[in-house]
Structure 1
Amino acid sequence: MSAEDETEIDASKAPLLDHLVELRTRLLRCVIAFVICFGVGFALADIVFGILVQPLVNAYGPDVQGKLIYTKLYEAFFVKVRVAAFAGLCLAFPIIANQMWAFVAPGLYRREKRAFLPFLLATPILFSLGASLAYFGVMPAAFTFFLSFETDGAANGITQEALPAMGEYLDLVTSLILAFGVSFLLPVLLMLLERAGIITRDQLKKGRRYAIVAAFAIAAVITPPDVWSQFSLAIPLILLYELSIIGIWFTERRRAKLAATTA
C-alpha cells in the first residue's frame, strides 16, 4: 500500500456512529426525493399511462378503438398509484444513485473510484437500452401477435375479443421493461465479478454453451410465450455475454500495463 493510499484512508476514517448518522441522512434524502417524484408522477400518471399503453394502441391499428377494462371499482385508482410509483422511481433514480455513491465513495481508494465510475455510468445507459428494446421492439410485435387471435365469429359462431384489464396490462408492461432493463446489465455484473476475483475470462469462455442455454431459459421465463419475444431477449443476452468477455480482455491488458509500469 502506498503512502498516498494510507493518507487517503486516514482522511476518510470516521467513527461508526458518524457513518450511521450519514447513512440515515442519505436514506432520508432518498425517501424525500422519491416522495416528491411520486407526487409529480401522480400528477402526470395519465400521461405516463398513455405512453405505456401506446404499444397496445399501435397493435390495434389506426382504425380500431381498443379498450382496457377494470372489473373492480378501485382498480383504476390503484393502477394510477402504481403508475405514479413507477414514474417516481424512474425520476428519483439519479438522486438515489448519487446519494449511494456519495456514501460509498469516501471508503474507496482513488484508483478504485476511477475503476468503479465507468460501471456506474454504464448502468443507466444499458438499462435504458434494454427498456427501449422491450418498449419499441418486443411489446408491439407481441401485442400484434396476441390480438391476431380475435375473431368475429363468422367461422365458428363464437366471437373472440381481447379485453385486457388495466392492472394486468400494467403488470405485463412494467415487468417487461424492468426485466429487459435489468437483463442488459449483464456486462456490468460480469465485469464486476471478474474484478472482484470471483470469475475469470477463461471461465466465461469455457461457459459459453451454458450461457446460451441460460439466455434462452431466462427469455422463456421473462418474456411472453411467443418466439419473437424470446429471441429478442436471448440474442442480445448472448451478444452482451460476448461483449463482457471482450471488455474483460481490455481491462486485463490495462491492468497488466499498469502493473508493468509500477513494478
Structure 2
Amino acid sequence: MTAADDPIAPVPVPALADQKGILHPGEQARHRALARLSAGPRMAEYVEWYWAVRWDLRGRAPYFAEVLPFPCVNVTFERTETQSGGFVNGVCTTKYVRELSGEGETFGMRFRAGGFGAFTGMDVGAFRDRAVALSQVLPDTDGLTERVLAASANERRRAIVEDHFAGHRAAADDTYRLVLRIVDAMEHDPELTRVDQITDRFDIPIRTLQRMFRRYVGAGPKWVLRRYRLQDGADLLARGRTDDLAALAAELGYFDQAHFSREFTAEVGMSPLEYAKNTLRSRNEVTSKI
C-alpha cells in the first residue's frame, strides 16, 4: 500500500504558496507571518500539520484576517492582547474573522477531518461554530498551554504537544478511516459536486453518511462538499481566473453563475469579480514594493 492509498498516511505540509482557504492572501501576508510543520509520526494518524502565526502591529491599526475554514478541528495555544490560553476550535461553518492587534501569536494543531472525534471519542458536532477552553474539553491538559508558549521554537512546541498527546491511545476505528477516504475524495476530486455522487461512489446510505459526518467531522456532507468547491473558487479567482465566471461556476457544480455569485458573496462578503480584483490589487502592491 502506498501513501496515496492509505487514508492516514503522513500528510505533506503544503507550501506556503498553497493558501487555499485564506482570503486575500497577499494582504494577509503583509500583516502576519505564517509557518507550518508536519505532524510527527506519533500523531500523524490524527493530525494533518501544525501551524504558527505571529504578528506585531504595535503602532498600527488592527487587521482583520479572514479565512474560509476547512472542515476540521484546531487546537490552539494563543497569547494575544484580546485572547490568551488553550482552545478547542470546532468546525466553523461561516467565514472566520480574527482581529490581529498589537503583538500576538498562535500555535495550532490542525486535526484531520474526523481526527479529533476519533482521537477523543467525542461527538465533534457539539463543537460546531464554537471555541471552548482546552481544559474544559480535555481536563488532563492543565499547564500544557503554558509549557507550549514558554518554548520559542516551533519545533520544540510541536515536541511538547506530541509528548503530551501521544500517550493517549485511541481504539482502532474503521469508521474514521472511511470518513478520511470520503473527505479526501471530496477535497481532491473537483468532479464531486453533489452528495448523491458520494453515496453512490462509497455505497453508503445518505442517513448513515450524515450521522458519520456529524459525529466525526462536525458538519454535514453537503456543507463539506460545498465548502471545498467554494475554496476552489476563491483560490482560482485569487490566481486570476476571471475570464469566464459562468464556466467557473459550472466547474464548481453550481446551477449557473448567479447561484455561484450569490453563495460566494454571502460567504466571502464581496462578489467573485470584486474579490479577484481586490486580490490582484493587493498582489500588485506587494510586487511593486519588492
CA radius of gyration, larger in: 1
TM-score by length of 1: 0.28
Tell me which protein shows more helix as a share of its residues.
1
Relative to the length of structure 2, the TM-score reads 0.26
